């Protein structure tokens, strides 16, 4: 997949089938829309393009209530490439872009850069300043500029619309299993492995990787999870994962930000400094405060046994 900016594109001679959106999560609804884009493009002999943004538009338009991200830009581009898209145009989103009219966006990006002949979007799609751009307006502009427009309903297996908002709610509630159903994959966060308090190996007997997840990325709700840890070389390990505040060790735990700690099953090695990818399969339990460290260790053994009993990469499970 080719990744370009607004000043790097040259409209393909045969024209392009285009979709536009934040595409946060690249969930099953998005994937359905992208499959429709690809099939209709193939029927008309067009290349495919996704127009997305370098940040979530809400971070500029309403930063006080901007949503946490299901995918950072790097992961989003990887997922779009997996969907067979030819080109992704990443538009820098700033205040000037937020103030741009829908008509200006169509002229500059869809027509000028991509030479759009077909635009496929969700049926409730809005764009441009004040969200005044709609599917109906796109159709009007299409008659002027020579492109067709299709509005698609993003439905899930239960008939409800699949949305990034709905998935964020599930992730925040710790229901990562249902979030995975709507995403079509496990919810994954990324970040470097940093040094923590150092008690995992010496005091608890469970050395953990402390993953520094960017604050704008959606972490699951506080709790203990079964999941996976993927290393930069692609090697995947089952993991018992804590997203918590460590109340057994800190009286002020409630005031501390959540920390992601992953214990890799059947692994012994140095992870410090590497970029980790942590996927969440299932919530095992809530976080608890134990009166004795021995009780915490006993519970951690039970958590690891529960993870080991689930399907997954590595010994005792299937990839």
C-beta separation of 46 from 120 below 8 A: no
Distance between CA atoms of 312 and 64, rounded to whole angstroms? 39
Tell me which DSSP letter residue 255 carries: G
- Beta pairing, strands 187-194 & 148-152: unpaired
Please pick, among 150, 261, 282, 291, the residue that the annotation labels catalytic: 261
3-class SS at 1? Answer: coil
CA distance 307 to 178: 18
Alpha carbon distance 298, 204 (integer Å):
10
> DSSP secondary structure string, 181-222?
HHHTS-EEEEEEEE---SHIIIIIS---EEE---TTB-PPPS
Q: Which residues pair with 225 in a beta bridge?
A: 241, 283
Q: Measured between alpha carbons, how far is residue 250 from residues 95, 240, 290 in Å?
A: 42, 21, 11
Task: Please confirm, yes or no, whether 261 is among the known catalytic residues.
Answer: yes
Distance, CA of 311 to CA of 227 (rounded, Å): 10
Q: How far apart are CA 234 and CA 133, in angstroms?
A: 41
Please list the active-site residues.
Answer: 261
């Amino acid at each position: 997949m080719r990744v370009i900016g607004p000043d790097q594109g040259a409209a393909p001679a045969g024209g392009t089938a285009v979709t536009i959106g934040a595409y946060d999560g690249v969930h099953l609804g998005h994937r359905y829309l992208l499959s429709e884009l690809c099939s209709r493009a193939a029927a008309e002999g067009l290349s495919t393009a996704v127009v997305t943004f370098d940040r979530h538009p809400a971070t500029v338009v309403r930063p006080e209530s901007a949503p946490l991200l299901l995918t950072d830009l790097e992961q989003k581009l990887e997922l779009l490439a997996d969907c067979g898209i030819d080109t992704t145009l990443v538009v820098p989103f700033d205040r000037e872009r937020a103030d741009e009219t829908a008509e200006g966006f169509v002229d500059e990006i869809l027509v000028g850069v991509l030479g759009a002949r077909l635009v496929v979007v969700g049926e409730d799609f809005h764009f441009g300043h004040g969200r005044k751009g709609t599917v109906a307006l796109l159709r009007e502009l299409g008659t002027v500029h020579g492109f067709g427009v299709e509005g698609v309903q993003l439905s899930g297996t239960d008939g409800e619309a699949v949305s990034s908002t709905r998935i964020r709610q599930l992730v925040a509630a710790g229901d990562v299993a249902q979030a995975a159903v709507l995403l079509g994959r496990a919810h994954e966060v990324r970040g470097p492995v940093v040094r923590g308090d150092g008690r995992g190996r010496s005091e608890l007997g469970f050395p953990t990787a402390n993953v520094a997840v960017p604050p704008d990325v959606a972490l699951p709700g506080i709790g203990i999870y079964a999941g996976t840890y993927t290393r930069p070389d692609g090697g995947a390990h089952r993991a018992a994962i804590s997203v918590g505040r460590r109340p057994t060790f800190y009286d002020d735990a409630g005031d501390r930000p959540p920390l992601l700690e992953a214990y890799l099953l059947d692994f012994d090695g140095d992870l410090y400094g590497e970029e980790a990818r942590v996927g969440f399969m299932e919530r095992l339990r809530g976080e608890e405060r134990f009166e004795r460290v021995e009780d915490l260790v006993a519970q951690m053994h039970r958590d690891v046994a529960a993870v080991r009993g689930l399907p997954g990469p590595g010994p005792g499970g299937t990839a």
